[in-house]
Amino acid sequence: GKFKGMVRILEERGFDTKKLKVQCNRKFECPSGSTICCLQHILYNQSDFVNVESLLEQSCKVKGFTVMFLLKFHCELTFI
């Protein structure tokens, strides 16, 4: 349960973090096709970070509800 930070998490997974930047630029835009350009991009693509349920999904699952995240549409066009 304690926050470790990106560097420590990636070092524990065997990545060499000394030569990499934390992020590519201020807009979080990495070069297309790059997989190990910055720490943030590497961590974002790790399998256990990609498939994490949100707190809302976890809470509803415990109560027996299903959560559906839908695209944002104008209220008159939404089928709900």
Residue 71 has pLDDT above 80, yes or no: no
* DSSP states of 25-58: STT--PPTT-SSSBHHHHHHTSHHHHTPPPHHHH
CA 61, CA 1: separation in Å to the nearest integer?
21
Both tokens of 58, joined, read 């976890």
| pTM metric for this prediction | 0.57
Residue 64 has pLDDT above 80, yes or no: yes
Tens of pLDDT along 14-52?
988 888 888 888 877 888 887 788 888 888 888 887 778
What is the sign, positive or negative, of the torsion defined by CA atoms of 23, 29, 35, 41? positive
Amino acid at 39: L
The pLDDT score that the predictor gives to residue 27 is 78
